[in-house]
Amino acid sequence: MEFQWTYDQADTLLLRTFLKRQGISKKLLAKIKFQGGKIYVNNKEKNVLFSLKSHDKVTVVIPDEKGHDTLLADDVPIEIVFEDDHLLIVNKPPGVASIPAQYHPTGTMANRVKAYYVKQGYKNQVVHVVTRLDKDTSGLMLFAKHGFAHAKLDQELQKKTLIKKYQALVSGKIAALSEHGQINLPILRDRTSLIKRKTDESGQSALTEYWLSERNKQIALVDIQLHTGRTHQIRVHFSAVECPLLGDELYGGRMDLGITRQALHCCALSFKHPFTGEMLAFSLPLAKDMEIIAKEL
């Protein structure tokens, strides 16, 4: 894959410094150097110690990613929300894990995307998961189609300019929920469980913002934005304020209202395209099982 830039400053600058500013890491530079990539300035091959002058045209050729045999392909259709040369956004159904585990090497979204890449004959075959979701959470999931895109999207995640929003159905003390509020409680691993988390003053800081959308005597639909990314954060926080998610047996959610998985859906995703600079925004309606319950509100 080829990328081009023009250096437009008056002062000279090391090519290595310029490439770093474009988001090319040391690891990616090593890959370019040792795996068949090229770096050109004004159509002439150069090394990273070359000094750029104003109006120099820089071209970087990044070698294709052949893919890993350890990631098996599952030929199961995926619902594509958006795709271009750099990004793939899909609608993940509930009950499907994001990535394989040691004893569950297949059946995940990564396996399905791998099969899609193979069928399409893409030159880059490595599956780069940018935003993963819990197995029973539905909604928007973002993949990068090559390592350079993944690195640049990770920078957006670190800068918190990549925004994910969720919708959840909760029960319990919903009368106490304000129209707009924040849950600011640290989270750590619960020592009584391999997977469970809990709120505790000694944990990592965690902030969840929510807006009340609809409510009746038993159930509330809330819109949620995470300001930190702790494991199970939404589930733990709403359980801590005694409004656990429907279907979330692990954290005390009701299992008698027609849904048996945590009622959580990634409904919106917005970020700046890592190469075009365009602001992108995507949204999805609730998954069918959540929609049936929400309609009763």
Catalytic residues: 134
The amino acid at residue 270 is: S
CA distance 150 to 10: 31
Under 8 Å between Cβ of 166 and 226: yes
Checking DSSP bridges between strand 180-184 and strand 279-283, what pairing results, if any?
unpaired
Say which residues have a Cβ less than 8 Å from residue 228's Cβ, sequence separation at least 6: 204, 205, 206, 207, 208
Residue 265's φ and ψ, nearest 5 degrees, are: -140, 125
Residue 190 sits at φ, ψ, to 5 deg, of -80, 120
Q: 138 near 247, Cβ under 8 Å?
A: no
Pairing relationship of beta strands 264-272 and 138-144 according to DSSP bridges: parallel
CA angle 231, 234, 236 (to 5 degrees): 75
157 near 228, Cβ under 8 Å?
no
Q: What is the DSSP letter of 268?
A: E
